[in-house]
Amino acid sequence: MHSSTEPPLYQVPARSLAARILARRNTVLHYGILSLLVLLTFALVILMISLSLRPTVLIYANFWDWPWPPTTINYQTAVLDLIPSMLRTLAVTLTSILAILAFACPASYAFARMECAGGKWIFFLILAVMMVPGVILLTPHFILANQLHLRGSLFGLGIFYVAGGLPFAIFLITVFFRAQPVEVFEAARIDGANDIRSLIGIALPLSWPILVTVAIMNFLSIYSDFIWPSLMLSRSQQTLMLALEQYNPQINEFVSYPDIGMQTAGYVFATIPQLILFVFGMKYFIQGVSSGAVKA
């Protein structure tokens, strides 16, 4: 027996039936294209992991062979070579993110919940700063770093990361704070809570999605930055991206060919912090982007 909600095919008008077939074909086509793009994306990642698990001699013998049996000798050497640069990069990145959140949260709360003279114009000025491309600011930042004697130090590198990340962080967090229920803050004010208490006890606990979103976005930009560290740091203080750019181990002292297995192991090792961050923060990242970041 046919369902009462959907008529059998022989009772469906020809035009409606053709429209359904066309819609199904479009759906299959769309999913096919998306599947192809995903396959192409992961093919490069799989190839990189495959090369990192093979001895370089076997890679030169057959580039497309599978890593069987796999070996971790490339990782043992690459991790020892890159771990100092990794630690420096993580220290600068995490410190900068904490500083960005520490400065952005009070400022955002002031823009969202406090009435102050000229506050709206200051917020518009912050939005205007966001519109300036970062490449244009490289030269004035470099001159300023020279004048303030900040070149050659991780502290100076982090100061410019904090200054560059604050405008966008203030914008996102302010929009999220404005979307929070006003009645909650009014009730807290009636109970005697001041603005600092409201920020710490109400606004921040409700804002974990957008805080994680800001942290992830800044982590990706700071962790993978190459241009600014190359202008600011010496060779002995290089970050992970600089170390990877110069990481060119040879097979041995008699052969000048690069050790591809060790190089790709270094690239895989460099992606581990980003992978961990996405695994544990993706839930909050999606919530922050899809909710607070689009509310006015």
C-alpha to C-alpha distances, 196 to 109, 114, 158, 185, 204, nearest whole angstrom: 9, 11, 27, 11, 11
- Degrees to nearest 5, angle at CA 230 with 225 and 234: 130
User: What average pLDDT values come out for the chain (296 residues) when binned by 10 residues?
Assistant: 52 66 85 90 89 89 86 90 94 96 93 82 88 88 92 92 93 90 86 86 88 92 93 89 86 73 92 88 73 49
Strand partners, 255: 252
pTM (two decimals): 0.82
* CA atoms lying within 13 Å on the CB side of residue 202: 22
**Distance from C-alpha of 219 to C-alpha of 83, rounded to nearest angstrom:** 18
Task: Return the pLDDT at 294.
Answer: 47
pLDDT at position 13? 61
As given in the structure block, the two tokens for residue 97 are 């993110």
pLDDT value, residue 248: 81
Beta bridge partners of 250: 258
Q: What is the pLDDT of residue 250?
A: 76
Compute the residue count for the chain.
296
**Cβ atoms 239, 233 nearer than 8 A:** yes
